Amino acid sequence: MVRKKSDSTPQQQTPTEPQATTPAQSQSAAGSTPQAATAPPMTKGQRAVALAAMPSDTSVLAGTFIGLLVLTSAYFLIEAAFNVEATSGYPMILRMALGLVGGIILFAVILAVGMIVVRMQRQMMLGNAMQVEYSDYAWLRDWANIVAADLELPRVEIFVTQDPVINAYAFGFIDPYCIVLNSGSIRYLSRDELKTVVVHEMAHIKYRHTLASVYLQPFITIPVVSIVTGWIAGFWQRRCEYTADRLALTYMWDAELVKNALVKVHIGPDTADGMNEIARQWMQYTAERPMNRFAQTFSNHPFLVRRLSRIDRTAQALGMTPPVADSQPAKTQDSSGAAS
């Protein structure tokens, strides 16, 4: 049963596939946006990156870093302020400055640990996963190389690892950057959906989310402490997901495609088709409740229905029209259902 569903889904999508259609559509559709009319000539990738960028993400990241730096320095600052024996001869301001230096040194050590961990992560992939580069997945390699160049990214290494869960993630702080696709993604997603997922992951590299994560990672993996640090970092991490979704949308220029991929990632390929409009509206309704919003603060990804709504709103704001005729009714209903 699992087989049948999953097999049929990609086949339905594949006919729509001609990869050339999507880029071509996006070119023409993006070309009709007001921004494109006034802006100097941009490549498709540059335009997508510009449309998806959200400068306030950087402010939230800066706030996150400051918060974590304060936490890192807290011990040293308290020590400097109250344990005056060692530095009793110094004025308070100097003692606090020394405390801050201690915090900054610890901050740098954590950063170094994060860098080592990320490099080791790549070595693990090289040892245990399949690198698409030299495999039979040439179409994915070739396509990813083109997109990476278009998005003005260094080349991205794509790995496939055995994990039946549909998912993917990106990491790296310097060339080479890596994207890992679970084997479930290869099995259950159509080619276009897979491309959408890859662009989403490329966004995490493009907007330097993976770079910032090098520092965040040690914090959010330390037991106990991570309850607080993970919660703080979550506010920025969830924004990153919205931004990555936006780039997937502005690059692929197909809201239905991006939403379908997200739905499959969240609820699986077997029930993805069951995520009808009523189900979504009900989820949207509950998502507006305070407890639901509060619960989301403990997740590093926004809840599915909120991501879907954001995609709808962004698509609407960009004047994007659904490229596939049969997705029109669902799209129209989506928009009204998502309005909140």
Both tokens assigned to 280 = 């979504």
Q: Give yes or no for residue 52 binding Zn ion (CB under 5 A).
A: no
Question: Which residue number, 130 or 262, has a Cβ lying nearer to Zn ion?
Answer: 262
Query: For Zn ion, how many residues bind (rule: CB under 5 A)?
Result: 2
Write the CA distances from 122 to 57, 152, 206, 220, 290, integer angstroms.
27, 22, 18, 19, 40
Q: Binding to Zn ion (CB under 5 A): which residues in 193-222? A: none
Scanning 120-128, 233-241, 259-267, 302-310 for contacts with Zn ion by CB under 5 A, the matching segment is 233-241
Question: Which residue number, 72 or 213, has a Cβ lying nearer to Zn ion?
Answer: 213
Interface pattern 270-309 for Zn ion (x via CB under 5 A) = ----------------------------------------
- Strands of 130-131's sheet in order across: 130-131, 156-161, 177-182, 168-171
Query: From the CB of 248, what's the least distance to Zn ion, in Å?
Result: 9
Q: Where would I find the H helices in 129-137?
A: none
Give the CB-nearest residue to Zn ion: 244
In order, the DSSP letters of 69-123 are HHHHHHHHHHHHHH--STTTTS-HHHHHHHHHHHHHHHHHHHHHHHHHHHHHHHH
Let me know: does 197 contact 181? Beta carbons within 8 Å.
yes
DSSP 340: -
Question: Which residue number, 100 or 199, has a Cβ lying nearer to Zn ion?
Answer: 199
Question: Which residue number, 201 or 256, has a Cβ lying nearer to Zn ion?
Answer: 201
SS3 23: helix
Scanning 4-12, 73-81, 240-248, 289-297 for contacts with Zn ion by CB under 5 A, the matching segment is 240-248
Query: From the CB of 244, what's the least distance to Zn ion, in Å?
Result: 5
Q: Give yes or no for residue 244 binding Zn ion (CB under 5 A).
A: yes
DSSP 320: -
Residues at the interface with Zn ion (CB under 5 A): 241, 244
